[in-house]
A = this chain, B = another copy of it.
Amino acid sequence: MKSPKPSLSVQAVLFDAYGTLFDVYSVGTLAEQLFPGQGEALAVLWRDKQIEYTRLVSMSQRYRPFWELTRAGLRYACARLQLDLTPERETQLLNQYRHLGAFPENKAVLTALKARGVTTGILSNGDPEMLGIAVRSAGYVDDKGQGLLDHVLSVESVQRFKTDPAAYALGPQALGIPARQILFVSSNGWDAIGATWYGYCTLWVNRFKLPLEALDTEPTRTGSSLRDVLDFFPKT
């Protein structure tokens, strides 16, 4: 069994949601049906614009809910790719986004973490309603909010998106322990770097074998699937 260095005494884990637990590119299939030959390009540009918009409004202190920015990103991406986004197609694509596919290994990992007594949660740019639907759809929490996740934290409460420190501060505040004792897990390289800057112990789940962001900062560790989280919490 691989075991973490003794200094990595993490007691809890917070997951990014979009891209990490939920597959933001799973909308590509429907996009391809609606716009043959352009599905992948649309899925990629949609995601890029969505994230770009979170940063613009956050930097400009003009927060808007993630859901609105998700719709805005879709509209821009279709305009840019010259795709005819009818109201019906927009509704279909947004409905798909509301019920994104979850990565297959997630549930086993979350179940194992609970079995090991680890506190778990989400810390996401998503707004509470989106997150609520997504985690219930994936079966991580039941209607009473009980289940595999102890915390579902949305940046909505601070009106700043990641990588603003106010967003990352939600973790230590909710869990009552310092960031260095919390493992923050993201598949988004920039999010893993932002969380590292903030002071978290971090795991970058590099699902697409992308280069590390060239910002002279490394996440604590890099893995390839959510399973790599378990190495931080050895069975006792």
Determine how many copies of this chain the complex contains. 2
Pick the most buried of A60, A62, A164, A198: most chain B CB atoms within 10 A of its CB: A60
A59 at the interface (CB under 8 A from B): yes
- How many residues on chain A are close to B (CB under 8 Å)? 33
Q: A165-B60, A197-B62 are in contact. Are A52 and B190 (CB under 8 A)?
A: yes
Q: Given known contacts A62-B197, A197-B62, is B76 in contact with A163 (CB within 8 Å)?
A: no
Distance of A190 Cα from B215 Cα, bound (Å)? 23
Tell me whether A58 is interfacial, beta carbon within 8 Å. yes
A133 near B: Cβ within 8 Å? Answer: no
Within 51-73 of A, Cβ neighbours of B (below 8 Å) are at: 52-53, 55-62, 72-73
Q: B residues within 8 A CB of A177?
A: none
Residues of B within 8 A of A53 (CB): 213-215
- Given A72-B215, A211-B80, A214-B76, A194-B60 contact (CB < 8 Å): yes
Chain B nearest CB from A80 CB (Å) reads 6
Query: Which of B56, B163, B215 is within 8 Å of A215, CB to CB?
Result: B56
**Which of B60, B193, B197 is A163 in contact with, Cβ under 8 Å?**
B60
Instruction: Using CB atoms and an 8 Å cutoff, list the residues of chain A in contact with chain B.
Output: 49, 52-53, 55-62, 72-73, 75-76, 79-80, 161-165, 190, 193-194, 197-198, 210-211, 213-216
